């Protein structure tokens, strides 16, 4: 058996089911090995940002890694921005990067680059195969590292001759490390803080925004009268009517500071004290109120579920007060032109139960931010690392992981253009994704930021670097050209019809909204 | 004055004219500074692969760097594959990468990554500003490093507070190092080898494929009866009737070996002994014949022009034999369906004098490879690092550098999908690029390579990772959706009409050819 086949056998034994791929010559034996194993589903992306973003979405929904098959340094380079987002989400990811044959590297052929340097700069763990006999072991260790709780970026480098050579070895079944233990003294300390008379907040994050964690948080908040919050951008957040509302702190630093002002104790579970997205002249980076007591009970690597259970036991939490639970009452718009006022409630009213939402709406996010809590329960996936071009790929991978659930992608036009090739993969695999493009013809967030960084006098030349209005992109034609049916909707009726049609029809669709 | 403005002043003083940009919040003061200096033309790319590829094309044509304005680690990540191609081309490139403010980095905000690691792994030289007072110096040194002969990748990292802070300093006018000296003994040795009775070859590369070098090579070859050759993929190669033909060695290793077989002496000027693009089981990496004498007179960093002049003086070369000069006779097809037989001569007959051709046609390249020598003189830019997605961006940048010359992009469909956003920039800037897409609905080179790496038994699942036929991309709609008029041509007449229309009309166009 060649080592590529042995690697695939090892990974399949450990649970591999999907490979997102954009291979090249140096990966041909891996391509052949994938071909030999029908247990694995290969999915082609026409650009590596699609591959890594889809793997992140798959992983956030399935809880386990896909493998990304990438072509040398440049293939990894293209994948890096969405690897970055996955790294910040702490999702399990296994990159399999082909390299030149070991003996060929010395010749500095055109595709030779500092692959190891790129891998180290983008991954949490890097392994390199040195021979056909170690490839399975490197692969098994890579799989184990990827699944170290809650997940990390694991990259294995596979020289072509290490894949094509013969081997007898087979890699082991591996067991990934679970969450790190929580310090019981910190739980005690947190309990005292939350049950004091001071203004307190329980601040959740990481993997602890699932329904069970939300319920525990709701009970703790009811028992202690603390407030609840989470990070601006989260990996996977269960939201909707009937579920405890754990609100995201605002994106802009001054709004976040205001949101947190007056809080005297903050207890963190699954995350750390919030910081501003960017620095601004004369503004604070660290957002928690000065003098507030910050108790980090569990960081992202620790057993936050255990911490929440202990806290709730100490609080003797039983019920959740209705003020923490959205009512589900939506004032559904019936007709008229689409507007920033009616789009939020309209979309919230139309989201089916158990939808997966991939959200990279950018500045258009404010349109529905206050309404989603009243939608039916859904999973909300955000752009965790701030690197745009994640929304459509993540929706693509989510739909692979959950073929029977509706997937909705809310995507700003700036980010959409980064990884628009994802639409082609959605069409090819007939994935149930309804893509909504918010077309404001600009990097609108940057037009806001240009003001915020400090009263810069600028004119049309600066604006030209932040706007997409010339030429205007025809999203409907663009989508159709890549095999995804599309409509532009201007009224409540049009949107409702197209959105429901998208949700009820097999395969992907796209709706352009002009904002 | 803030440091961002001082940096722009310094770079403009040193010759900066164009900034290719996709900025974010951390680059806002640089955006404002660019706005303040009308001497600099800012050009937005909707994805950083467009930015770095366009800068490479600009630089290959103008001979000097543009600046690329990039947003933190992820922005650099997206730019890396076309930086890689530029690095292999040894073109001058200056990346200006914004970073979080120095005091903000400790907080590990969402967009924080190992930016220095990525920069080091992708660049030849990296500088980091530590304060507003050193930004100009770092920028001037970055400019100098970029222009060290023949050019290299220079990256400066600019923390936001180093850009927005006030400074009195201004950077110096810098002088880049010219080519390194050649060893005169090697020239002597090379002359002896070429003028011996053995089969000899003069092998050119790097910056020594301009008209002057070709003429010298032609005279030397006439005087010594040596053969002439160059690398498969070159930075900028002057070609066409009336010019000495210096043929590229074939891409596939066994064909290259055959091409070189029997040669007893090879003299290298501006390049090094050729190696195969990839390794294959049981095949050689190093392509020169065993036992051949290899004389590396000038590497890519050395003064190859001096070497060629000296060699020609020693040879007493005067004339160029007509067997080295293509006749320009083309058997021009008049009608019928487009085919692999008539497309090459057709296109060669239609290329206007002094066209810049950006070629990433992939497997479709064989269609015109033997015909371009008879076209009118043109500059031929190839995908030097083998990282696909370079063709359209390079054409975009070339058209910025040479607004009065026709630019033709020959682009395979696989690579086109990597950086298709380039079309939008071509439309926005009304650049004179005629893009020809060879639509074979596959990564055809990989289907060949799958066979070549060694009789792998594979089926539809492997093919699915190498084909783009489902869904078929509608290139005409895709191009139009991004603002570039497009046509699909199936006959000689249709192609001729569309191609000439594209060349004669201001602004970009696209032609799809089905191969």
Residue B95 backbone phi and psi in degrees, to 5: -95, 125
CB atoms within 10 A of CB B229: 23
Question: Looking at the partner chain, which of A25, A49, A421 has a beta carbon nearest the beta carbon of B446?
Answer: A25
Q: Which residues of B touch A417 (CB under 8 A)?
A: 46-47, 421, 424
Q: How far is B167 from chain A (nearest CA, A)?
A: 15
- How many Cα atoms occupy the beta-carbon half-sphere of B483 within 13 Å? 20
pLDDT tens digits, B490-513: 999 999 999 999 999 999 999 999
Q: How far is A79 from chain B (nearest CA, A)?
A: 8
DSSP single-letter state for residue A302: B
Task: For A61-92, give one letter per residue: b (16+ CB within 10 A) or e.
Answer: bbebbbbbbbbbbbbbbbbbbbbbbbbbbbbb
Asked if the bond preceding B150 is cis, omega within 30° of 0, the reply is yes
Distance from C-alpha of B89 to C-alpha of B63, rounded to nearest angstrom: 12
Q: How far is B239 from chain A (nearest CA, A)?
A: 22
Q: Which of A312, A13, A308, A230 is nearest to A139 (CA)?
A: A13
For residue A97, give the 3-state DSSP assignment. strand
Q: For the CA atoms of chain B, what is the radius of gyration? A: 24
Q: Kindly state whether A422 is in contact with chain B, defined as any CB-CB distance less than 8 angstroms.
A: no
DSSP single-letter state for residue B469: -
Low-confidence ranges of chain A (pLDDT < 70): 454-455
- DSSP state letters, B357-417: EEEE-GGGGHHHHTTGGGSSSEEEEE-TT--SS-HHHHHHHHHHH-TTS-EEEEEEHHHHT
pLDDT tens digits, B7-60: 999 999 999 999 999 999 999 999 999 999 999 999 999 999 999 999 999 999
pLDDT tens digits, B347-400: 999 999 999 999 999 888 878 888 999 999 999 999 999 999 999 999 999 999
Distance from C-alpha of A304 to C-alpha of A296, rounded to nearest angstrom: 10
Q: Which residue of B has its CA nearest to A74?
A: B81
For residue A231, give the 3-state DSSP assignment. coil
Contact map slice: A 98-117 vs B, CB within 8 A = 100-101, 103-104, 107-111, 113-114, 117
Residues 6+ positions from B451 with CB-CB distance below 8 Å: none
Residues 6+ positions from A205 with CB-CB distance below 8 Å: A230, A231, A234, A268, A269, A270, A271, A272, A300
Distance from C-alpha of A509 to C-alpha of A487, rounded to nearest angstrom: 8
Task: For B113-124, give one letter per residue: b (16+ CB within 10 A) or e.
Answer: bbbbbbbbbbbb
- DSSP state letters, A422-442: HHHHHHHTT--EEEEEEE-SB
Q: How far is B253 from chain A (nearest CA, A)?
A: 12
Inter-chain touch A461–B42, beta carbons under 8 Å: yes
Mutation for B interface: A41, A72, A76, A278, most B CBs within 10 A:
A278
- Cβ atoms of A40 and A94 within 8 Å: the answer is no
Residue B466 CA from chain centroid, whole number = 25
Distance from C-alpha of A503 to C-alpha of A495, rounded to nearest angstrom: 12
Q: How far is B224 from chain A (nearest CA, A)?
A: 30
Inter-chain touch A28–B464, beta carbons under 8 Å: no
- Cβ atoms of A294 and A266 within 8 Å: the answer is yes
Inter-chain touch A465–B44, beta carbons under 8 Å: yes
Q: How far is A159 from chain B (nearest CA, A)?
A: 10
Helix A115-122 to helix B72-89 angle (10° resolution) is 180
DSSP single-letter state for residue A227: E
- Cβ atoms of A236 and A380 within 8 Å: the answer is yes
Inter-chain touch B464–A42, beta carbons under 8 Å: yes
Domains defined for chain B, CATH in brackets? 3-164 (3.40.50.970), 184-324 (3.40.50.1220), 343-514 (3.40.50.970)
Distance from C-alpha of A75 to C-alpha of A68, rounded to nearest angstrom: 10
Q: Which residues of B touch A477 (CB under 8 A)?
A: 477-478, 480-481
Q: Which residues of B touch A21 (CB under 8 A)?
A: 465
Q: How far is A349 from chain B (nearest CA, A)?
A: 31
Query: Looking at A143-261, which runs of residues are DSSP E strands?
Result: 153-159, 200-204, 227-230, 237-239, 247-248
What is the percent of chain B with per-residue pLDDT over 70, rounded to a whole number?
99
Inter-chain touch A481–B475, beta carbons under 8 Å: yes
- Cβ atoms of A132 and A3 within 8 Å: the answer is yes
Q: What kind and span of H or E run contains A378?
A: strand A378-382
Angle, CA of B108, B111 and B117, to the nearest 5°: 80
Q: What is the pLDDT of residue B455?
A: 53
Tally A–B CB contacts below 8 A.
Answer: 326
Mutation for A interface: B67, B249, B278, most A CBs within 10 A:
B278
Q: What kind and span of H or E run contains B159?
A: strand B153-159
pLDDT tens digits, B420-452: 999 999 999 999 999 999 998 888 888 888 877
The dihedral of CA B40, B41, B47, B51: what is its sign? Answer: negative
Q: Which residue of B has its CA nearest to A388?
A: B74
Mean pLDDT, rounded, for B312-331? 95
* CA diameter of chain B: 70
Q: What is the pLDDT of residue A450?
A: 82
Question: Looking at the partner chain, which of A117, A121, A428 has a beta carbon nearest the beta carbon of B470?
Answer: A428
Distance from C-alpha of A290 to C-alpha of A261, rounded to nearest angstrom: 9
- DSSP state letters, A158-183: EEHHHHHSB----PPP-----PBPPP
Inter-chain touch A277–B109, beta carbons under 8 Å: yes
- Cβ atoms of B277 and B232 within 8 Å: the answer is yes
């Amino acid at each position: 058996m060649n080592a590529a086949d042995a690697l695939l056998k090892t990974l399949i034994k450990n649970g591999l089911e999907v490979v997102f791929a954009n291979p090249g010559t140096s990966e041909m034996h891996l391509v052949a090995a994938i071909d030999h194993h029908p247990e694995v589903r290969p999915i082609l992306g026409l650009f590596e940002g699609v591959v890594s973003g889809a793997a992140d979405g798959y992983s956030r929904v399935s809880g386990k890694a896909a493998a990304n098959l990438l072509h040398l340094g440049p293939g990894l380079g293209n994948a890096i921005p969405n690897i970055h987002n996955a790294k910040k989400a702490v999702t399990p990811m296994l990159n399999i990067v082909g390299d030149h044959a070991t003996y060929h590297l010395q010749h500095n052929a055109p595709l030779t680059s500092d692959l190891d340097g790129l891998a180290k700069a983008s991954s949490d763990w890097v392994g390199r195969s040195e021979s056909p006999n170690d490839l399975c072991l490197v692969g098994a260790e890579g799989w184990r590292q990827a699944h170290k709780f809650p997940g990390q970026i694991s990259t294995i480098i596979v020289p072509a001759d290490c894949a094509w050579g013969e081997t007898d070895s087979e890699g082991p079944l591996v067991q990934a490390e679970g969450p790190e233990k929580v310090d019981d003294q910190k739980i005690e300390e947190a309990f005292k803080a939350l049950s004091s008379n001071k203004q307190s907040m329980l601040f959740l994050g990481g993997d602890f925004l699932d329904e069970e964690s939300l319920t525990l948080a709701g009970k703790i908040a009811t028992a202690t009268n603390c407030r609840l919050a989470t990070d601006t951008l989260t990996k996977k957040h269960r939201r909707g009517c009937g579920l405890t509302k754990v609100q995201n702190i605002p994106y802009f630093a001054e709004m976040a500071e205001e949101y947190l002002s007056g809080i005297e104790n903050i207890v963190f579970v699954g995350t750390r004290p919030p910081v501003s997205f960017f620095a601004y002249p004369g503004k604070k980076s660290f957002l928690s109120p000065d003098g507030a007591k910050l108790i980090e009970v569990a960081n992202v690597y620790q057993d936050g579920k255990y911490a929440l259970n202990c806290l709730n036991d100490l609080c003797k939490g039983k019920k959740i007060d209705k003020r923490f639970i959205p009512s589900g009452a939506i004032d559904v718009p019936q007709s008229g032109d689409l507007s920033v006022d009616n789009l939020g409630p309209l979309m919230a009213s139309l989201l089916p139960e158990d939808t997966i939402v991939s959200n990279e709406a950018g500045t258009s996010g404010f349109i529905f931010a206050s309404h989603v809590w009243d939608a039916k329960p859904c999973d909300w996936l955000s752009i965790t690392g701030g690197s745009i071009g994640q929304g459509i790929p993540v929706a693509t991978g989510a739909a692979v992981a959950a073929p029977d659930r509706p997937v909705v992608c809310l995507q700003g036009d700036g980010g959409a253009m980064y990884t628009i090739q994802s639409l082609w993969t959605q069409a090819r695999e007939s994935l149930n994704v309804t893509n909504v493009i918010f077309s404001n013809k600009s990097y609108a967030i940057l037009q806001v930021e240009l003001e915020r960084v400090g009263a810069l006098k600028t004119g049309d030349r600066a604006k030209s670097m932040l706007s997409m209005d010339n030429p205007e992109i025809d999203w409907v034609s663009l989508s159709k050209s890549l095999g995804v049916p599309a409509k532009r909707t201007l009224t409540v009726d049009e949107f409702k019809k197209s959105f429901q049609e998208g949700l009820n029809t097999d395969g992907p669709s796209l709706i352009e909204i002009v904002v």
